[in-house]
Amino acid sequence: MKIKLSEILDSGLHLVTSREPNWLHNIPELFTEGEDVRITSELSFDLWISKGTGYVTVDGELLYSVLFPCSRCLSPVELKISPRVHLVLSPEVNIGVDVDCKTGTDYEAYSGEQIDLGDYMREVIVRDLPLKVLCAEQCRGLCPECGANLNETQCGCGSDWVDPRFEALKSLKV
């Protein structure tokens, strides 16, 4: 995703583009059929790029769908994700991504007469994957004993199931 500085006019550059999931070549798991966590749509980018004296700013939004297993019952859940980006690029000052947590601004370097947003955008996509996904707030999860999906069935072994760690405590004579 390379942009020549000369393409950025004084009024800015509105970049609307998309990529196939396999554009994420650094994380092939995300577009491999059969993986638990997988991108299921195109990656869409809607970005405003402006140039100042000695810096370039990129503001905008990404949009794509990802399939996740529910953290409790493991059923697949499809989520639309739209991370916002606010990036300031400066010429070769410091290499790598730096995040200002207070303002949510990222900083990167560029060299020469063009910027390349590819690696940065791939990083944003990994960074914004949710850690915990539930198919429903009240998901009942899997029975810890027989593995049945408790949203779909009442296996019956749940009622007298005792965590083995507590079972050990119960046998202690007080």
Q: List residues near Zn ion by CB under 5 A.
A: 70, 72-73, 135, 139, 143, 145-146, 148, 155, 157
CB of 39 to Zn ion, least distance (A): 21
Q: Using CA atoms, how far apart are residues 156 and 142, in angstroms rounded to an integer?
A: 12
Question: At residue 62, what are phi and psi to the nearest 5 degrees?
Answer: -105, 160
Q: Rounded to the nearest whole angstrom, what is the least distance from the CB of residue 30 to Zn ion in the complex?
A: 21
Residue number, 96 or 147, with CB nearest to Zn ion = 147
Least CB distance to Zn ion at residue 138 (A): 9
| C-beta of 81 vs 139, nearer to Zn ion | 139
Asked if residue 76 lies in contact with residue 67, where contact means CB atoms within 8 angstroms, the answer is yes
| CB closer to Zn ion out of 157 and 168 | 157
| Closest distance to Zn ion from the beta carbon of 9 (Å) | 49
Q: β-pairing, 38-39 with 55-69?
A: antiparallel
In this complex, which beta carbon is closest to Zn ion, that of residue 12 or of residue 69?
A: 69
Q: Residues 41, 7: contact at Cβ < 8 Å?
A: no
Q: How many CA atoms lie within 13 A of 10 on its CB side?
A: 0
